[in-house]
Amino acid sequence: MEITYYGHACFGFKTSSSTVVVDPFISGNELAKNIDVNGIKAEYILLTHAHYDHILDVEIIAKNNDATILANAEIASYYEKLGYKVISMNIGGVKRFDFGRIKMVSAVHSSSFPDGTYGGLACGFLMKMDGKVIYLSGDTALTIDMKTLPYVYGYINVAILPIGNTYTMGIHDAIVAAKFTGTRNVIASHYDTFPPIKVNKEKAQQMFLAEEKHLTFLSIGGTLDVNTFV
């Protein structure tokens, strides 16, 4: 199973049976200008919330791939009305796929569309894909709920966490989040795209290492085999 970073908080997961893209924001991201949105393959598009920096390229990717959008009930009905295929769920729910399971889990964040439409509750995803457990928190503050996650599918092989501060957790809280989830491996998300979320990457990695956690920065367009995480 492979993870590809498309910049900001957008990740692709290539499983044995499907390709999943989460929170597509590419065409509006100067740092991702080398990524061709039209080249992105996706059978499913997962959305953590309705903010601009998570949904900008949903429609183009959905159209290009006839993809199904999986999101909370409010976001799903928004896209269903526009004619897209959706899977509607809410926090606590689990959907089964050929590659495994996707559970919608809580996040502490807001969620509205750029036009002001209510976007339901922000969420994260706990995913079991090809036997590996991945936690993608979405935009969130540190929350005690994270302690419950390793009780769902067992050890979390890797957590994808925001580290940019200002709108989400910063580095200190992301280290605590790693401890709460029990994982050793964190992939950084939601940093550097805008001035208020710039980070010092080297310092961040040192801070994680000091707490015996490993922080990975994927290059934009870079791919990683999840089997490297034990």
Choose between 53 and 173: whose C-beta lies nearer to Mn ion: 53
Binders in 103-162 for Ni ion, by CB under 5 A: 139
Choose between 152 and 194: whose C-beta lies nearer to Mn ion: 194
In degrees and rounded to multiples of 5, residue 122 shows phi and psi of: -65, 150
14 touches Ni ion (CB under 5 A): no
Q: Long-range contact list for 90-96, CB < 8 A, 24+ apart?
A: 90/120, 90/121, 91/121, 91/123, 95/70
Choose between 68 and 111: whose C-beta lies nearer to Ni ion: 111
Quote the CA–CA distance of 28 and 38 in Å, as a whole number: 14
23 touches Mn ion (CB under 5 A): no
Residues contacting Mn ion: total by CB under 5 A: 2
Among residues 51, 103, 190, 213, the one that binds Ni ion under rule CB under 5 A = 51
Contacted by 23, from Mn ion, Ni ion, none: CB < 5 to 8 Å by type: none
Give residue 202's identity as a one-letter amino acid code: E
Quote the CA–CA distance of 139 and 108 in Å, as a whole number: 8
The b-or-e profile of 133-155 (16+ CB within 10 A means b, else e) is bbbbbbbbebbeebeebbeebee
- Residue that is written with structure tokens 């959305």 in the block: 47
Choose between 51 and 128: whose C-beta lies nearer to Ni ion: 51
Choose between 1 and 9: whose C-beta lies nearer to Ni ion: 9
Q: Which of 110, 24, 33 is nearest to 64 (CA)?
A: 24
Annotate each residue in 103-142 with x if it binds Mn ion (CB under 5 A) or - if it does not, as one string. Answer: ------------------------------------x---
For residue 5 the two structure tokens come to 């970073």
Instruction: List the end-to-end C-alpha distance of the chain, in Å, as a whole number.
Output: 13
Smallest distance, Mn ion to C-beta of residue 69, A: 18
Binders in 139-158 for Mn ion, by CB under 5 A: 139
In degrees and rounded to multiples of 5, residue 125 shows phi and psi of: -130, 130
Contacted by 74, from Mn ion, Ni ion, none: CB < 5 to 8 Å by type: none
Residues forming contacts to Mn ion in the complex (CB under 5 A) are: 53, 139
Residues forming contacts to Ni ion in the complex (CB under 5 A) are: 51, 139
